[in-house]
Structures are given as C-alpha cells and as structure tokens.
Amino acid sequence: MKRYSRELTVGGALVLLMISLAIFAPNFFDTQPMISRLASQMPALILALGVALVIITRQIDVSIGSQFGMCAVIAGTAAAAGVPMPLAMLCALVAGALMGAANGWLVAGLGLPSIVVTLATMVIWQEVLRLWQKGLLLSLPDGVQWFGMSQGTGQAMVIGSTLLILVLMAWAMKNLSSGRRIYATGSDAEAARLAGLAPKATTFWVFLLMGVLAGVGAALNLVQSPQIQPNSGEGLELKAIAAAVVGGIAITGGRGTLWGVLLGMMLLANVNPALTHFHQPPYWEKAIQGLVILLAVAADGIRIKKQKHLK
Amino acid sequence: MKQTGSIKALLVKHEMILLWVIAVEVILFQVLGQNFLTAGNVSNIFRHSAEIGLLALVMTPVILTGGIDLSVGSLMGLCAVVFGMLVKVYGLDPLVAAGLTVLVGALGGGLNAGLVAGMGLRPLIVTLGTFSLFRGLAEALTHGSKSYSGFSDGFLALGNSDILGVPAQIWIVLVVGIVIWFLVHHTTYGRSLRAIGYGEEGARYAGLPVKRNISITYVMAGAVAGLAAVILVSRLGEARANAGMGYELLAITAVVLGGVSIFGGAGNVSGAVLGWIALAILNNGLTRISDYEILGEKVSSVARELSGLLTGLLLIAALALAICMKMLAAKRSAKQT
C-alpha cells in the first residue's frame, strides 16, 4: 500500500475532482465532448509516458514539445505532398527517433547535462520550425483526419492505441530486463555500471525512445484536426513533465510507475476544462501547473527526508 | 600546486578564445553587414542586451554552486506585469514601483531558495516549476493579453537615453557587475560558492554555511531579474506577461560560453561577461546583414530565428568544448604522473 501512496493520493484527488464536477457541472460528462476531450489529451499522455522514462533514468528532456512540433509538421508536409498516411506517420516516428538520438548522444555519449542539452535542442528545433513554416498553418489533405474514417472510429483508435502503448510500456517496465535496466540506471548509475548494465547505452535508448514517442504523439495529434499549427508543441514539455512528476515519478530517478503518470495526466489535463465548467477564467492553467509541480516535488523531498531520519 | 596552475592556464586560454571569437564576429559582421561598427549601433548592441547581461551576471554564482535557475525569464515576465500594475493601476511613482518590483523579484528568488536550499530539492525541477508558476501568474494577472503602456518620459529615459555617451542602463549593468565580481572573487562568500559547487557535502563538513550561501545566490538572481524587468519595460515602453521569454536560455548560454563549468565549482565573472558580449554581438550582427539571403529570405529579416538557432548550437558547442578540454587536461596530468 505504502509503495503506491502517490498513485493513491493522485487517484483520490482525481476522483474528488470528478465527483465535484458530477455534482456541480454534470454536463462535463456529456458523452461526445468527453470523448473528444479525452482523445485530445492522448498525445500529451504519450509524451508524459516518454518523459517519465527519461526522468526515471535521472535525466530530463525539455525539448519534447519542440520535437513534437517538428514531427507534426514533417508528417503533415509529407501527407500534404501525397505520401500515403501510414508512411507519413512513419516519417514522424523516424524524425522523432533522430532528434531523440541527437539528445541521447550528447547526454550519454559526451556526458553533458541533459537539462542544458535539451534546453538548447528545444530552441534549435523551435527556431528551425519557425524558419521553415514562418508561423503559417499547414492544411492537411482530406484523408488524414481520423485516419480517413468516421470521427467516432478515429477517436476510438486514438484512445485505444494510446492505452495499448501505456499497457505495453507499463508491462515492459515491470517485466522486461530493459525496463528494470531503466530503473537501475536511474537509482544508481555507478552501481548499474558495475553490475554490467551499461547505463550509458540505456540512457541513449531512453532518449531515442522519447523521440519516437514524440513522433507517435504528433501523429495522434495530427489526425484530430484538418490543419496543424507549427507551434502545436509549445508548452507540452511542461505539461508532460508535470504529469509525470505529479504521478509519482521521482525526479531523483529510479522510482515511479507509468500508471501513476496516467493518473497525473488525467488530473492535470482536467484542471482547465474543470475551471471553465466552474465558470472560472482559464488564465490560471500555467500557474496551477507550476504550483502542482512544486507541490509534488516538495512531497517527494519530505518523503526522502523521512526515510533518512528512519535510517 | 601544479593542478591549480594548469586549471588557471586553461581558464586564461578560455577567455583568450572568447576574445578571438568576438574579434572574428566583429570582422565578419563589419564585412558582411551594413552599418555594423557605427557609434549608434555599438551602443544599440549593449542597450538591447543589458537585461541578458544582468541575468548572466547573477546566473554565474548560481551555476558556480552547481545549481541552475530556469525561472529568471519567467520571473521577469511577472515582475514586468507587477511593475506595470503598480504604476498604471495603483499610480505609484516609477522609482517606488521599481523598488517594490525588485522586492517581488527577491521574493520569487526566495521561493526558489527555500525549495532548493531549505528543502534540499533539485534546482532543475524546482526552477522548472517556478518557470511555469511565475509566467502563469503573469498571464493570470493580465488575463493573458492585457499590457501596460504610457509610462512617463522620465522613466522611459532609463531604457532609451545615454549618460556620458553610454546607454543609461549599461551603468546599472556595470554596478551590478562590479558587485558580483567583488562578491565572487574577493570575499569568503565567493570562495564558498566554488567549494559548494565542487562538493556540497565536503563544504558542509568544512563548516561552511551551505544553505545560507546557496539561498543568497537564488535571492540575488530573483532581485536582479526584477531589476532587469524594470529596465526592459523602460526600453520597450510596455509591460506584458511575455517579457523576458527565453531569456534564461540566453543567460545560461552566456555563462557557459564564458567558461563557467555547468557542473559547478569553476569559472569566473569576466568569462561570463565576455560570453554575454559575444552573444550580444551575434544577436545584433545578424540583423545588420541584408545583402545575403538564407532559405530565400534576407538574413536580417529572419535574424531572430537565426540567432536563436545559433545560440542553441553555440551552447552545445561550448559544453562539448569544455568537456573535451577537461578530458585532455585529465589525460595530460595522467601522463605527467
């Protein structure tokens, strides 16, 4: 029970939010808007799952929002040029993998601190995107929206594939040796190295996987609207990191579950819709997000202090 | 003894390299661009980068301790909005408002300090949280779009006039620079920052007031971010929530470019200043090139995007260079023994 205390707390908060919404703003649960909202939250959840792995290895990646934007525009441009849909999506994944590999090489290969490296790549991809798109909207061809299917099916596919990825990743983190390696690298890289676990390689692959997931998120975002904004990824990195940290991924590495990330994302993503349903202005989103990050990290700090005292 | 000698030699070398970089930049922009080395433009280079200079100066002590402050740009946004409200909504005198704004900045820095030093949390995630919090508060206060303008001429002069032929705000940068330089290089406090950056645990066992000294660096960073916000508002004549967006990256780049180790423990203020000047020249120089095109656009018309891109690349290059030099030095000392 104690091991999953964070998941339980966040889950409890989520239930409370939902109950109060059910009482005071029952139309929050109207089926169609709720499914649309859920589908629109899936890309951010994918990013949060990726960044959770990065944080578990005791690194950070703040470039994921820019990666997301790049992947979206690359796939969109390909689709607009007549490339078939599956191939266009593959383009997004490959582009993400390359950007992730660049981060991974700089962090794991050269041993540079990930916060500064990804801060730099965040700006680099963002400016490349600006130079390339000049801030213009990119219209997508007809077959792209909802994979060329009806909206209901498309939304089901977006939500379904995200949940599938979540289940697979959560299972792999628990049961595959590569998943355990990620935890080992984050909790003590030196011990992992001595145990022959190649923490550098693990770190590299985690960053690469992060890039691929940014591509997946971008692809799942792409199908939800007839056009894409080049700045579609701006601020997503903070949303993803916040969801991961709130969901119990310890910033000190080596600790947390992806189910917690799901709860964290559901809680955070519903703050803003909840605000509007409670007839509050939505300007507070970023401030609340920051506050929630600080609270989650502080709670972690207190937990660690307590453990030290017990020892 | 030998060790300190070789590290010193490296640092001196680093500053020489920066001077060369600056010289190459100047020559390049003078040849490729228009009206680069004119009195008016040189004064513009400094006028437009004064805020980043201030941030780089106070980021130096933070990074020396092995910390980082990602929230200074967002704090500038919050402080700019607070300043605008104090003057335009509450009708305070700009000087009083500026004082209060610096105080608000110090409080923001105090929040970072409390969480980092007081609770022992990692500065990277704390300041990432306050990065979001401060900007969010600025947006909430202005409802996302409102801005304050119409300040008095006397106040606007701070950002747009000269004193003794030098942009007025550069005098402020100079004063802050001297204070920081003195603190870092000529006080026990400054020595302790390096000791903390080199090994926090060791510094604590040596009896240094680690928590207090780390706290001071973050509070200073916050206060000066408030000051930078006032200067920015004065220069632009407008206070809005997006003030200072991305400035934290520029400040960190200047400091790292200046040879301050991102892992803490090594570096000096003069390097950070040179790093700032190199960045400032890059930002300005690109806007001066209108004869050449890139991707079908005049360089000057995409200068902002290009300089952002180059700043990112420079940051990575500087980091990689620092690591390579460290490896070389380690190899050399291994050979000697």
Query: From the CA of B50, how many Å to the nearest CA of chain A?
Result: 21
B179 vs B73: CA distance, rounded Å: 21
Give residue for tokens 């095109």.
B293
- Per-residue pLDDT reduced to its tens digit, A202-212: 999 999 999 99
Q: Are strands B162-163 and B166-167 parallel, antiparallel or unpaired?
A: antiparallel
Decide which of B291 and A36 is more confident: A36
For residue B218, give the amino acid letter. Answer: Y
Query: Quick one: average pLDDT of B142-151?
Result: 88
Kindly tell me the burial class for residue A230, based on how many C-beta atoms sit within 10 Å of its own C-beta (0-12, 13-18, 19 or more).
Answer: buried
A297 vs B contacts (CB less than 8 Å): 115, 121-122, 125-126, 129
Q: Is the pLDDT of residue B165 over 80?
A: yes
Q: How many domains does chain A have?
A: 1
Q: Is some CB atom of chain A closer than 8 A to the CB atom of B247?
A: no
A293 C-beta neighbours (distance < 10 Å), count: 27
Residue A255 belongs to a domain? yes
Cβ <8 Å between A290 and B136: yes
Q: Which two tokens stand for residue B83?
A: 């300043």
B143 vs A contacts (CB less than 8 Å): 281, 283
Cβ <8 Å between A294 and B130: yes
Cβ <8 Å between A290 and B313: no
Q: Is the pLDDT of residue B2 over 60?
A: no
Residue A138 belongs to a domain? yes
Helices (H), chain B: 2-32, 39-64, 72-88, 94-113, 123-141, 153-160, 168-186, 188-198, 200-205, 210-236, 247-257, 269-287, 303-336
Q: Is the pLDDT of residue A311 over 80?
A: no
pLDDT for B12: 58
DSSP 8-state secondary structure symbol assigned to residue A145: G
Task: Check residue B336 and give left, alpha or beta (phi > 0: left; psi -120 to 50: alpha).
Answer: alpha
Q: Is the pLDDT of residue A228 over 50?
A: yes
- Per-residue pLDDT reduced to its tens digit, B277-309: 999 999 999 888 888 877 777 888 888 888 889
Query: Quick one: average pLDDT of B103-119?
Result: 96
Cβ <8 Å between A298 and B319: no
Residue B166: phi and psi, rounded to 5, are -120, 140
How far is CA A20 from each of CA A23, A29, B282, rounded to the nearest angstrom?
A: 5, 12, 54
Decide which of B62 and B21 is more confident: B62
Of A117, A251, A286, the CB nearest to B316: A117
DSSP 8-state secondary structure symbol assigned to residue B238: E
Q: In terms of residue numbers, what domain contains A81? A: 59-273
Residue of B nearest to A251 (CA): B125
pLDDT for A21: 86
Query: From the CA of B253, how many Å to the nearest CA of chain A?
Result: 9
Residue A242 belongs to a domain? yes
Q: Is some CB atom of chain A closer than 8 A to the CB atom of B121?
A: yes
pLDDT for B7: 60
Residue A257 belongs to a domain? yes
- Per-residue pLDDT reduced to its tens digit, B3-17: 455 566 655 567 888
Residue A292 belongs to a domain? no
Query: Quick one: average pLDDT of B59-86?
Result: 96
- Per-residue pLDDT reduced to its tens digit, A59-107: 999 999 999 999 999 999 998 888 888 899 999 999 999 999 999 999 9
Domains, chain B, ranges and CATH? 2-336 (1.10.3470)
Q: Is the pLDDT of residue A143 over 80?
A: no
Cβ <8 Å between A106 and B316: yes
Q: Is some CB atom of chain B closer than 8 A to the CB atom of A136?
A: no
- Per-residue pLDDT reduced to its tens digit, A238-255: 899 999 999 989 888 888
A232 vs B260: CA distance, rounded Å: 35
User: How many Å from the N-terminal Cα to the C-terminal Cα in chain A?
Assistant: 21
Cβ <8 Å between A290 and B131: yes
Of A251, A281, A287, the CB nearest to B133: A287
A173 vs A50: CA distance, rounded Å: 12
Query: Quick one: average pLDDT of B9-29?
Result: 82
pLDDT for A29: 85
Query: Which residue in A131, A241, A255, A305 has the most chain B C-beta atoms within 10 A of its own C-beta, making it the best mutation to test that interface?
Result: A131
Identify which of A6-10, A282-286, B58-62, B197-201 has the greatest average pLDDT: B58-62
Q: Is the pTM of this model over 0.95?
A: no
Average pLDDT over chain A reads 89
pLDDT for B237: 94
Cβ <8 Å between B132 and A281: no
Residue A14 belongs to a domain? no
Residue A225 belongs to a domain? yes
How far is CA A159 from each of CA A85, A154, A224, A261, rounded to the nearest angstrom?
A: 18, 9, 11, 16
What count of CB pairs under 8 Å joins A to B? 143
Residues B51 and B244: beta-carbon distance below 8 Å: yes
Residue A67 belongs to a domain? yes
A128 vs B contacts (CB less than 8 Å): 309
B310 vs A32: CA distance, rounded Å: 46
What CA dihedral angle connects B40, B41, B47 and B51, to 10 degrees?
180
